[in-house]
Amino acid sequence: MNITTLLGGVVTIFWLVVIGLIVLIVVRASRGYTTRNMGTMVIVAAALAILFTAASAGMVFIQPEERGVVISAISPGGYRQEALGPGLHWVIPFAENVIRYPISKQSYTMSIAASEGAIQGDDSIAARTSDGQEIFVDASVIFQINPERVVDVHIAWQNRYNQELVRAQARGIVRDVVSQYQVEEVVSSKRFDMARQVSETMATKLDENGLTLVDFVLRNITFSPEYAVSVEQKQIAEQQAQQARFVVESKKQEAEQARQVAEGVADAAVIRARGAAQARIVEAEAEAEALNLINEAIQDNPDLLTYQYISKLAPNIQTMLLPSNSPFVFPLPTQPVQQAAQPTEVPTPAPTTTP
């Protein structure tokens, strides 16, 4: 509660006292009672009521979110050049009065929904695109009065700036901007460009009239029933085409996968064949190298072949001939001697007589 409100309450009380005293005087006089001192009381109470009324009329308290335009009967032009800022101010009673304007943010909404807009019913913005399609735009304009230009707003618009400035400018600018785009651009790729263009134009127009644009919100875009049906049919056709492309692509991927599997199998067979061939080559080279080494060893030691032959004999061979052209048979050294070998005399054949 500020001082002006308190002072207004005091003024009301004093006037009630004055009225009460007058009524009391009339009643007492009608009954024949004396009213000698009551007239003085009425005069004093009335004087105080007038004094406080004048003080109340001259004191103005401006809230922080307000500015006050002083309409003056004694100032040139009929108003003070500067608006009243926040706080307590004094104006000339009954010669000046104050009109308050909010400088906080305000919102004006135009919507197709009956309960959302500033105006009841369908208040959306009907506009036509460059290709002749009609669309309906829901939008909100968030703005505020420039505190430095409150007097200009009062002179130009008074309290009509919502309807006659903000609403009118927004609807006209939206229609102008929408007419520069095709319908598909409005609802897809160019929607943000369109909103930005509207916002820039709105900011310029409002600034020229003492208002500041805080934000322009493009809430929703709807189509005519005929175009909505055509859009739905187009979307269905595009979805079917996309499904067909997906099937074709899936078949291509399956064929490519089968081809890659076949190539993998063929590559694996080639790798195995190359590995087997390389293994045979290595094995043949190793055998040839071994044969060369054996050949060199035999050339340096001819008896090595005899040794290898003997070592390869079956393990049940118990005797050996030394040397190879010897008529004597000897047991192996690791076997016990069963019987000493007796030399056998070979009989000399009888001479043959020729008759």
Q: What is the pLDDT of residues 264-314, one digit of tens each?
A: 888 888 888 888 888 888 888 888 887 787 777 777 776 666 666 666 655
In this prediction, residue 106 has a pLDDT band, given cuts at 50, 70 and 90, of very high
Distance CA 26, CA 102 (A): 48
Domain map (residue ranges) of the chain: 3-102, 106-223
Q: Domain 106-223: state its class.
A: alpha beta
Checking if the pLDDT of 350 tops 90, the result is: no
For position 115, what pLDDT does the model report? Answer: 81
Answer whether 0.75 is exceeded by the pTM: no
Q: Which of residues 125 and 5 earns the better pLDDT score?
A: 125
Helix (H, G, I), strand (E, B) or coil at 218: strand
Distance CA 33, CA 95 (A): 43
The tokens of 58 are what? 């001259």
CA distance readout (Å), 103 to 85, 150, 216, 285: 11, 8, 18, 102
List of residues 6+ apart from 305 with CB closer than 8 A: 298
Residues 66/70/71/74 CA torsion (nearest 10 deg): 180
Angle at 287 between CA 285 and CA 288, to 5 degrees: 65
For position 342, what pLDDT does the model report? Answer: 46
For position 99, what pLDDT does the model report? Answer: 93
Checking if the pLDDT of 168 tops 90, the result is: yes
For position 40, what pLDDT does the model report? Answer: 80
Q: Which of residues 138 and 254 earns the better pLDDT score?
A: 138
Residues 66/71/72/77 CA torsion (nearest 10 deg): 120
